[in-house]
């Protein structure tokens, strides 16, 4: 999944690991491991290809009876105990792969050691209205956790788990093994591992985080995060030389802007050709924008073509898709008769949206749309 004209979301946790001095990284993936394997490759882009460093994609275990899918987050770690123990670690950092942020895990590890903790959870204050979407940490004054509520209907506070954990490995291993023996377990960190540790009196602490953080697990949050990063005053500084976000980028020529093109406050990556109007949008590598085409408040992913006269507003267009001439994708909120019907339109990858076709707000397009002729249909 793409973010801010040149990055993939996986770039953020990988770069944070490298910048924090973590040299052995396993990436757990449930589906389509080939796509992730192709992108990560040898790990060279993140400096994870040295003699004593490396990154490895870890799909579900392939047994004699075929693949055993990861049953939950805890089971995913359990299936890879042998991989972890190759490195004989004292501590293990467990991260979510769909968050946008910059964080020094080595500082969090120092805090974990100082507290003599079995588990440390990174925490961030979120708007109270959104707190029920997260695991909520109820803590004492010293940061120790006395209660963990997984996505409560009525949260007691707004200190949310960021899905970033540091465990003392021997402790975590014990709980993973016991959890796997339980036939009634959902094998989930939030539902079983963390509550079990808390109930057994393990030392668990919240590590307070301040800074930009976005969970991009939804369409709206993916769109919002890209829009956030257009603003040069955002709190997530991707130009910071002291904490770079590394990425594997295609080797493409510089972008080209035609004589009649207009670009306003947008991010345009390498290999793009722009002949139309682009306003407050993100164009990833190799995007083509035809003459008299209009793109507003949208995300256009790599290799996509927006043909002449097409209009794209408040939309996410996935990779290698063609939006035909005079097609209309999405609308601005103020153009709606009923604002409650408005939302970001999404078009999947490798699709063809025919000339003159229309995709309404909140549309989720996963197959081709035929050309509309003579204003019919």
What are the backbone angles phi and psi of residue 35, rounded to the nearest 5°? -60, -45
- Structural tokens at position 126: 């979120």
Percentages of the chain per state (helix, strand, coil), in multiples of 5: 25, 30, 50
The three-state secondary structure class of 4 is coil
Kindly indicate the confidence band of residue 308, based on its pLDDT and cuts at 50, 70 and 90: very high
The more confidently predicted of residues 60 and 284 is 284
pLDDT tens column, 326-355? 999 999 999 998 989 999 999 999 999 999
Residue 126 CA to residue 124 CA, distance in Å, equals: 6
Residue 36 CA to residue 209 CA, distance in Å, equals: 28
Q: What is the pLDDT of residue 377?
A: 44
Report yes or no: 273 and 300 within 8 Å, Cβ to Cβ: no
**DSSP annotation of 255:** P
For the entire predicted model, the pTM comes to 0.89
CA-wise closest residue to 267 among 4, 1, 2, 3: 4
**DSSP annotation of 46:** G
Average pLDDT, the chain: 91
**DSSP annotation of 341:** G
Q: What is the pLDDT of residue 63?
A: 56
| H helices present in 20-72, as ranges | 33-40
Report yes or no: 123 and 160 within 8 Å, Cβ to Cβ: yes
pLDDT tens column, 141-194? 999 999 998 889 989 999 999 999 999 999 999 999 999 999 999 999 989 999
Residue 1 has pLDDT above 80, yes or no: no
Residue 95, CA atoms < 13 Å, CB-side half-sphere: 24
What percent of the chain lies above the pLDDT cut of 90? 71
CA-wise closest residue to 121 among 87, 100, 146: 146
Residue 264 CA to residue 296 CA, distance in Å, equals: 10
Say which range, 33-37, 91-95, 111-115, 256-260, has the weakest mean pLDDT. Answer: 33-37
Secondary structure (DSSP) of 283-303: E-TT-EE-TT-EEES-EE-TT
Q: What is the largest CA-CA distance in the chain?
A: 72
**DSSP annotation of 193:** I
Sign of CA pseudo-dihedral 11, 12, 17, 20 = positive
* Average pLDDT over every residue of 101-128: 96
| Buried/exposed 205-240: b ≥16 CB within 10 Å, e otherwise | bbbebeeebbbbeeeeebbebbbbbbeeeeebebee
Report yes or no: 228 and 236 within 8 Å, Cβ to Cβ: yes
Report yes or no: 262 and 278 within 8 Å, Cβ to Cβ: yes
């Amino acid at each position: 999944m793409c973010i801010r004209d040149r990055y993939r979301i996986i770039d953020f946790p990988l770069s944070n690991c490298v910048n924090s001095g973590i040299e052995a990284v396993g990436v757990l993936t449930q589906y389509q491991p080939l796509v992730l394997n192709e992108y990560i490759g040898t790990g060279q882009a993140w400096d994870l290809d040295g003699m004593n460093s490396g990154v490895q994609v870890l799909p579900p275990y392939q047994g004699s009876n075929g693949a055993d899918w990861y049953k939950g987050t805890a089971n995913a770690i359990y299936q890879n105990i042998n991989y972890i123990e190759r490195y004989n670690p004292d501590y293990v950092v467990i991260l979510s792969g769909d968050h946008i942020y910059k964080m020094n895990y080595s500082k969090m590890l120092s805090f974990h050691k100082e507290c003599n903790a079995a588990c440390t959870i990174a925490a961030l204050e979120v708007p109270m209205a959104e707190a029920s979407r997260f695991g909520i940490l109820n803590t004492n004054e010293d940061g120790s956790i006395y209660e963990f509520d997984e996505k409560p209907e009525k949260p007691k506070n707004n200190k949310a788990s960021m899905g970033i954990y540091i465990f003392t490995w021997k402790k975590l291993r014990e709980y993973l093994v016991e959890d796997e023996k339980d036939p009634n377990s959902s094998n989930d960190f939030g539902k079983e591992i963390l509550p079990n540790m808390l109930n057994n009196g393990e030392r668990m602490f919240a590590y307070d985080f301040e800074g930009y953080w976005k969970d991009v697990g939804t369409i709206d949050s993916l769109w919002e995060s890209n829009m956030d990063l257009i603003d040069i005053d955002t709190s997530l500084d991707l130009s910071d030389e002291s904490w770079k976000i590394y990425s594997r980028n295609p080797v493409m020529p510089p972008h080209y802007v035609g004589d009649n093109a207009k670009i306003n406050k947008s991010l345009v990556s390498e290999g793009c050709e722009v002949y139309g109007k682009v306003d407050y949008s993100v164009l990833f590598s190799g995007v083509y924008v035809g003459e008299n085409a209009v793109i507003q408040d949208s995300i256009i992913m790599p290799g996509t073509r927006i043909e002449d006269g097409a209009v794209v507003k408040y939309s996410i267009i996935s990779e290698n898709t063609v939006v035909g001439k005079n097609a209309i994708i999405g609308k601005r909120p103020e153009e709606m008769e009923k604002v409650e019907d408005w939302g970001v339109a999404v078009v999947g990858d490798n699709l063809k949206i025919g000339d003159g076709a229309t995709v309404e707000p909140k549309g989720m397009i996963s197959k081709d749309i035929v050309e509309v002729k003579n204003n019919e249909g």
